[in-house]
Structure 1
Amino acid sequence: MQTIQAEIQAINAQFDQAFNAKNAAEIGRLYDVNATVMPAPAGAPVDGAQAIQVFFDGLIQAGVVEHQLTLTEAVADGNLAYQRGNWAAAMFNADGTKQTFGGNVHLVYRKQSDGGWKAVTHIWN
C-alpha cells in the first residue's frame, strides 16, 4: 500500500505533466466535481471541476509554462488529506526574456469511491 506522500506525489506529477502538455482536460479530472480553486493574488474563487478546467486552460493559453509542484508535507485522516508545499512556473516576455515565479500551495483532497484522491480545495500565493 502506498503512503499518502507517494499518492500525493503521483497526483502532483500528473498535474505538472498535464499542465506542461497543455492538457487542461486532464487537470480538470484531478478535481472533485464540487472542488474550489482560490487563485492568488486575491482572485475570485473558481467552483466546480469544469470551471477549474477552463481556468487552467486560460493560464496555459496565457503562456504559463514549466509548472512544478513540490511537496513539503502530506497528511491523511480518514477520507480527507492535505498537502502543503511550493509551486513554480514561468512565462516569456514579448522580448523572449523568461520570468520565473512561484510561492506556497495548499490542497485538500477527498478520498473517492474508487480509493483514489481528488482535490476539493486548492489555494496558492
Structure 2
Amino acid sequence: MPFARCASILFIRASGCSKLWKSVDVTFNYGLDEHMKTKPYIALFLFTFIWSVSAADSKIEQAVRDQDAQWSKAAESRSVEKLLSFYADDAVVLPAHAAIATTKDSIQNIFQKLLSIPGVALSWKATKVTVAGSGDLAYSTGAYQMSAPDDSGNSSVDRGKYVAVWKKQADGNWKVAVDIWNTDLPLPAPSDKK
C-alpha cells in the first residue's frame, strides 16, 4: 500500500510539472513558429543558473574548510592570539563543562586556561561543511582530540565533536560566530556516598 501511494503522489507531481511546462511553453511561444521555440533556451538558462549557484557553494565550502584547518593549526601552535583571530567580534563560545563565553575577554580566558595545561595538544578536523543558501553563513562539524599528561605522567586523551558556525565578514573573510564542543567520554559513575 505505501508503494502505491508513493507512486500516485509522484504521478500527481509529475503531471503538475508537465502542466507547468506546457503553461511556460504556451506563454513564451505564443505566435512563434517551430524554429523559434524558447524551451531549449529556458532549459539552458536554468541549467546554467543552477550550476553557477552550485559552483559558488563549492568555493564557499572550500574556503570555510580551509579556514577551519588553519584554525586547528593555530590551536596546535598553542598561540591564544592566533586562535582568537578566527573568532568574530560578537562570537559566542559554548565550551564543555564551562559557562558560555560571549566576550573576547571571556573567550580568551577559556583558551588561556586550556592551553596553559602543561603538555596539552589540541587539534580538530572538519568532516562536513554546509553552506546556507544566503552564502554568508556556513557551519562545520567534525571531531577534536585533546591530550595532556595526567597526574601520573601518562597521556590522557579526550575525543569529542564540535560545531562551528562561520559568518562572512564585511571584508570577505570567514570568522567563527558560534563555537560549541563536547566530549565523547562517558559520564563518571555516580558515587555511592550518602
TM range (shorter): 0.7 to 0.9
**Aligned pair partner of 1:6 in 56, 62, 66:** 62
> Which residue pairs with 1:31 in the alignment?
87
What amino acid is aligned across from residue 165 of structure 2 in structure 1? V
Distance in 1, Cα, partners of 2:108 & 2:59? 28
* Structure 1 unmatched ranges of 5 or more: none
Tell me the SS of whatever aligns to 1:90: strand
Q: TM-score, normalised by structure 1?
A: 0.88
Q: Which is richer in strand? A: 1
Distance 1:75 1:64, change over 3 A: farther
Distance in 1, Cα, partners of 2:87 & 2:131? 17
Q: Contact 1:29/1:49 (CA < 8 Å) preserved in 2?
A: no
1:11 is displaced (CA, Å) by 2.0
> Which residue pairs with 1:20 in the alignment?
76
Tell me the SS of whatever aligns to 1:59: helix
Tell me the SS of whatever aligns to 1:68: strand
Count how many residue pairs are aligned between Structure 1 and Structure 2.
124
Q: Which is richer in helix? A: 2
Tell me the SS of whatever aligns to 1:6: helix
RMSD after superposition: 1.8
Of the structure 1 ranges 45-54 and 98-107, higher mean CA displacement relative to structure 2 is found in 45-54
Listed as ranges, the matches of 1:88-107 within 5 Å are 88-107=145-164
Listed as ranges, the matches of 1:49-88 within 5 Å are 49-63=104-118, 65-77=120-132, 78-88=135-145
**Quick one: higher RCO (CA 8 Å, sep 6+), 1 or 2?**
1
What amino acid is aligned across from residue 21 of structure 1 in structure 2? S
1:47 is displaced (CA, Å) by 1.0
Q: What do the CA deviations read for 1:40-87 (whole angstroms, capped 9, x no partner)?
A: 13x200112332122111100123632121212101122111011111
The structure 1 segments of at least 4 consecutive aligned residues displaced by more than 3 Å after TM superposition are: none
| Greater Cα radius of gyration, structure 1 or 2 | 2
> Which residue pairs with 1:120 in the alignment?
177
- How high is the sequence identity, in percent, across the aligned residues? 27
Tell me the SS of whatever aligns to 1:8: helix
